[in-house]
Structure 1
Amino acid sequence: MPEPVAAAAHYATLRETGAPSGPIAVYDLGAGTVDCAVVGAGTAVLAEDGLPDLGSLDIDQALLVHIGRSVSHADPAQWQRLLRPQTTSDRRLRRVLLQDVRDAKESLSRHARTEVPMPDPFGDVLLTRAELEALVRPNLLRSAEMLAATISRAGLAPDRLGGVYLVGGPSRMPLLAALVGSTLGVVPTTEDQPETAVAFGLHHVDVRPAAATPMPAPASWPLVQQQPSPAQQQPGLNQRPPAPMPPPGWPQQPAKKSRKPFVIGAIALTALVIAGIVTAVLATRGDDKPAANQPATPPNTCAGSPPALPGENGLTKCIRRLAGPTIQTRATCSDDPELAKALGAVRSALCRFPDKTTVAFHEGLTLAQVEPGARKDMAGRVETDTWRTRIGLAGRYVAGAGPKLGLLIYQADGIPVVGTVMDTSPSHTSRRPRDLVQFFEQTVQPGE
C-alpha cells in the first residue's frame, strides 16, 4: 500500500464537512528522506518525487556542526572523539549528545529558544529557533519547490487540490509550513502528531486484493479523535490562477521510477514480500559456532519463560527484552508467522518506525546462524563491533550494504533473538555501514 494513500486517507478523516474535495498533496519529511505525492480518487498516485539527501537526521547533523563551531575550541581533540568515537565511552557520550541535539531540535518547534547540555569540558549551548531556521531554510525551500513541481506534473494547480498535508515528525517546524504555504499559495495542514498520520491512515484504507475492476474509494472514513491545526498563514500569499480541472477519475500518469518508493514494509506489505527479501539474505545458515575471536554464546536467559506467544503488539516476552522501550513506544509492531516459517524461527515480528525504517526480530535464531548469509550479500562493506547499554545488556552487531538492502543484524548476550535493521530504499547502496550503526545506536539499541 503506497504511503501517500494512507496519509491522504488520514487527512480525509480530519476534513470538516463541506471542505473542498479533490486530490491531496502529501509531503512526508522522514528521518532520511523527504517524499511527496499527489493522491487522487481511490488509491491513485498521480505524481510523486523525493529527495534522498534531506531528513531529520540531516537536520540533526547540521545542528551538531553548528554547535561544534561554538564549543570545539575548548578541546578540539575531545570534540573529534565525539564526532568519531573510538571507544565504548566515546560512543556512549556521542549517543547522549545526539539525543540532546535531537531533543533541542524538537523543542525549537514549540519554543523560541532552548539549551543543549554538553559533556565536559564543553559548556552548555543556547540555541534559538532563528539559528535552526537559518541552517535548514535552503533545503526546506528546495523541498517545497519539489512539492510544487510534483503538483504541476499531476496536471493540477495548488488551489485545485483538496488539501496539502504535511506528515512526518520534522514537519512540526513552523518554517516548513511557512515555506510550503508561500511556495504554493495555499495553507498546508499538519497536526499535533504528524509522525502517526500513515499508521492511523492504514485503518481507513481497504488493503484487500484488487478485484477485476478498480475499487472505488470508501464513501466515508470513521473520524478519529484528532483535530488538524492549520499551519501559520503568511500574509500576502499570492493565489495562483486556477488550472483546468483534470477529467473525472484522475487517471494515473505513466509510472516512473521514484527515488524512494512509498512502501510500508512493516504493516501493509505482505509477509511474502518481506520474507522474500530477508530470507534471500539470511538463508545461508551457520552452525551456531561463534565467529573467530568472539566469545561463546552465553546461556539462554529466556529459558523457563512461558511459550513464545506474542502480546498485543506482536512481541513475545523474549523479543521485548531485545526490542527495548524505544521500539515498543515509537514503532508499530506485528507478529509475522509467515516470516518466522520462512526463516525457521520460533517467532518473528516486524516493527515499523514512522520514518519508514523497518526492524525485524526473530526468536530462536542466533547471530552466528544468520551472519554467514548476511555477509554474502554485503559485498565486503561490513562493520562489526560489540555494544553495551546502561541497563546491562551487551552483544554484537554486523552492519553492511549489498545489492538487495542495507542490513544491520544484532543480538544481546543470553537472549536467543536476532534483531535486523533493514534499509530497502533505492539509495541504500550509496550509504555506509556507519549510517546503519548510527541509527542503531541512537534509536534501536535497547535501553538507549
Structure 2
Amino acid sequence: MRVLSVDLGTANTVAVLSDHGVVDVDGGPTMPSSVYLEEDGSLLVGKEADRRSRQDPSRYEPNPKRHIDKPTIKLGEQNLPTNDALAAIYARVLEAVTALLKGEHLDEIRLTHPAEWGPTRRNKLLSSARLAGMTGELVPVPEAVAVASLGGGRPLAVYDFGADTFDVSVLDSQHRILAEGSLGDVGGLDVDQALLEHLGRMVSHKDPAGWQRLLRPTTVDDHRARLGLREELRLAKEDLSELPQVEVLMPEPFEKVVITRGELEALVRSSLIRTTELLISSVHKAGVTPEHVYLVGGSCRMPLVAQIIAEKVGIVPTNPDHPETIVATGAQVVDRAMITLKAEDDKPRYVEPPTVVTAPVSPAVTGPHPVNPNVSGPNPVVSGSYPSGSYPSGSYPSGAYSASGTYQLTSPYPNPNVSGSYPTNFPQQQAPKKDNRKILAGAGAAVLVVAGVIGAIFAFSGPSLPSADECKDDTSQDGQGFTKCLRQLAGTVPDGGGCEKADSAQITGMEEIKGTVVSCTIRDGYAVQYILTDSVTGAENNADTIAKSFQTDRVEADWTGNGLQGDYRVATSSGTGVLVFTAQDRPMFGILTKTAEENADELKADEMADFFEKSVQPGE
C-alpha cells in the first residue's frame, strides 16, 4: 500500500512516502510553506515564492497556515481564499510525489495537524488537499500522535516548538492524549522578532529614520530590505545552534553586526522557562509520568531548550537528528485504530464575521459577498468521504493547478462552484447581528455590542462624507488639529474636549509614529490618538506593527460608523491596554490606550473593546 504523509507546517512543509522516505519537494527535505501571487493570477510556492517576494512583498505570504481561521488572505490587491493557498502547497508536494510513483496511485494520504484542532480546521486541510488533486483516502493525524508512534508503547510528552506557537501534549502508552497546552506568543517567529528588536537596540541610534523604514516599510525597496533582514536573522538563529557567534549582514546604511549565542539565549530564556512550566503542569494534569520528552520543530535545535527541560523536569529530552521531519515520519507508522480526533472546535484565533458582509474583496467587486463556508460551524471529519452539494454563489477567486503545481486564476472573481474540489453542502449559520468579535491566541469568547450614538455636531451623513482621495489630499486642520477625515473617524470624542494637536503618536516601547496626529484624553484612564498618514498602506503597516507587538491574548473585531468601516485589535496586561483601529481604504488609524491604575490588574481585552465600541467608535 502506498501511503503519503504530509506535514504542512507554519514555516515549512515535509512529505514522506512509504518505501521511499522523505521526499525532496523543493531541493531538500523541507519546503518553505510560502506563497506568492503573480499579477497574472499564478500562485507560486516554496523557494520560488521566497525569491519572487522581493519584487512585490505585498503579494507574498510566508506563513499561510497562520490564516487557517480566516476565509481569505490578502495578496496584493486580491483576497485569495485560504483554501487555495494551502492547496497550492499540497499541489507542489503532489507534483514531486507523482514523479516517484511511476504510474502507481496513492492509497492513503495522511495529513498532520495540531492536536487541538477541531473538525472545522481539519476540514479546511482536507478540502485543500482535494482541491490540489489528491485522491485516495485522506486521513487526518494529530501531530502529537504521529510523534508518539515513534516512541513505542510508553507514556511520553511531545514538546512542539513550532514557528507560530508552542504546543505540548502528554500521551499514555496507548497514544491517547491525556493533556495538552499551548502558548500562542512563543514560537520560532517570536524568536526572530526578539532578535530584530535586539538588533534595533544595537543600531537604531546610528540612523533612526533608516531603522524606522525597516520597522514600518512603505515602499517596495523598504519591504525588500525588511524581508532580507528577516531572512538574515532566521539564518543567524539557526547558525547559533552550532556556533558561539555569527555576523548578521545589514541593509544600508547599517554595518554588519555580531550576535552571540549568549545574547540569543538571554532573549529567549524566560519564554523557554514558560514552555517548561506548561510542560510540567500538563504532566500533572495528565496524571502520568512520561518516560520520554520528544522535541519537535526546528527551534528545538537551540541547545538551551534541552538544557532547561533537563534542569526543570529532570528528563533529558529526546532530540532527533531532524526535528523538522519527525512529524511526517511518525505519521507513516501511526496505527489508525489509535487515532482519536478532537470532536469539537476550540476557541479560534479568528472568529468568522457574519455570513454576509458588505466590504468588497476588491475594488472591482461591490455589494455583499458570502464568507467562505469552509469554516462555518462544526463539520465532522469522515476520512475520505465528502457530502455532495454546492456553494452559494460568491466573490472569491477560483482557479486550477497545472502539472507543475502552479495555480492559475481562471478569472478575477468567479463563482466558486468547483465540483469535487471542496467539501460542500456545509450547514449554514444564521448571521448573528452581534457576534463579530474575533479572539486571537486563545483569548476568551466575547460578544460585540455596537454603539449607535451619533454626535449632534460632528456626525457625517450623505454627500458630506469625505472620499478616500479627499482624505489623502486634505491637510487643513481645525482648532483641535483634526482634518475632515480625522474628525469623521473621531465621531463624538471631540465633543468632550481634551483633544489637541501632537507632533507624533506615542506607544511605549515603540518608535514615534509620524503624520497628522491628534491626541485626546477621555476618562477613566483612557486616551486616544488619531493619526493621518501619507498612504493607506502606511496606516495599515503601522497598525499591524502595533498589533504584532502584543505579547498576550488579544481580541479582534470589525466596526462600522460615520460612513466608515474597519477593524480593531486589542490586548491588555496588568491593568494597561492598547487597542489599534483602522478605517478601510483610508490613510488613517487610531490608538486607544488605558493607563495603569492601582489594583487594576483585572483589565480584560473584552472590557477595553466594550469601551471602544460604546465611547470611541464613531456611531452610525
TM-score, normalised on structure 1? 0.50
| Partner Cα separation in structure 2 for residue 174 and residue 259 of structure 1 | 33
What's the Cα RMSD here? 4.5
- The one of 132, 137, 146 equivalent to 1:6 is 146
Give yes or no for the alignment of 1:285 onto 2:394. Answer: yes
Q: Provide, for residues 301-331 of structure 1, a one-character-per-residue CA deviation record: whole Å limited to 9, x for no partner.
A: x9xxxxx7xxxxxx63364367xxxxxxxxx
Q: Percent identity?
A: 41
- 1:83 aligns with 215
Match of residue 417 from structure 2: 344
Once residues 420 and 251 of structure 2 are traced to their aligned partners in structure 1, the CA distance between those partners, rounded to angstroms, is 41
- The residue aligned with 1:113 is 245
| Aligned equivalent of 2:329 | 200
The structural deviation recorded for 1:9 is 1.3
Q: Does residue 1:189 correspond to 2:318, yes or no?
A: yes
User: Which amino acid letter does the alignment assign opposite residue 285 of structure 1?
Assistant: G
**Quick one: which of 209, 234, 247 aligns to 1:102?**
234
Q: Distance in 2 between matches of 1:81 and 1:100?
A: 17
Distance 1:24 1:128 in 2: 34
Q: Counterparts in 2 of 1:43-442, with a 5 A limit?
A: 43-157=175-289, 161-207=290-336, 215=337, 284-286=393-395, 316-317=402-403, 319-320=405-406, 343-345=416-418, 430=556
* Deviation of 1:343 (Å): 4.7
Instruction: Indicate the SS of the match to 2:182.
Output: strand
Paired letter, 1:100: E
Counterpart of 1:438? none
Q: Measure how far apart 1:135 and its partner are.
A: 0.4
Corresponding residue to 1:22 among 154, 160, 176: 154
SS state of the match for residue 156, structure 1?
coil
Aligned AA for 1:286? S
Alpha-carbon distance in structure 1 between the residues aligned to 2:334 and 2:254: 50
Contact conserved, 1:38 with 1:45, CA < 8 A, in 2?
A: yes
CA 1:274–1:4 in 2, change beyond 3 Å: closer, same or farther?
farther
Q: Distance in 1 between matches of 2:222 and 2:343?
A: 47
Cα distance change, pair 25–260 in 1 and its aligned pair in 2 (3 A): farther
Amino acid at match of 2:323: P
Aligned length: 263
CA distance in 2, matches of 1:146, 1:270: 29
Distance in 2 (alpha carbons) for counterparts of 1:101 and 1:287: 36
Task: Quote the offset at 1:193 in angstroms.
Answer: 1.7
Q: Which has the higher helix share?
A: 1
Where structure 1 has 5 or more consecutive residues not aligned to the other structure, the ranges are 13-20, 208-214, 218-251, 289-301, 303-307, 309-314, 323-341, 350-377, 382-396, 401-426, 435-448
CA contact (8 A) 1:49 1:258 kept: no
Task: Report the residue type matching 1:191 in the other structure.
Answer: P
Q: TM-score, normalised by structure 2?
A: 0.37
Q: The residue matched to 1:194 in structure 2 has which SS?
A: coil
Between the aligned partners of 1:88 and 1:31, the Cα distance in structure 2 is 26
Please report how far the alpha carbon of residue 126 of structure 1 lies from its aligned counterpart in structure 2 after TM superposition.
0.5
Q: Distance in 2 between matches of 1:4 and 1:190?
A: 15
Distance apart, 1:260 and its partner CA:
7.8
Deviations 1:280-314 (A, max 9, x none): 9x8542397xxxxxxxxxxxxx9xxxxx7xxxxxx
* SS of structure 1 residue aligned to 2:324: helix
Q: Greater Rg, structure 1 or structure 2? A: 2
Q: Return the offset for 1:139.
A: 0.7
CA distance in 1, matches of 2:232, 2:419: 38
Whether contact under 8 Å (1:51, 1:259) holds in the other structure is no
Residues 249-287 of structure 1 show CA distances to partners (whole Å, capped at 9, x for unaligned) of: xxx9x99986789xxx9xxx95889999xx99x854239
Q: Which has the higher contact order (CA 8 A, sep 6+)?
A: 1
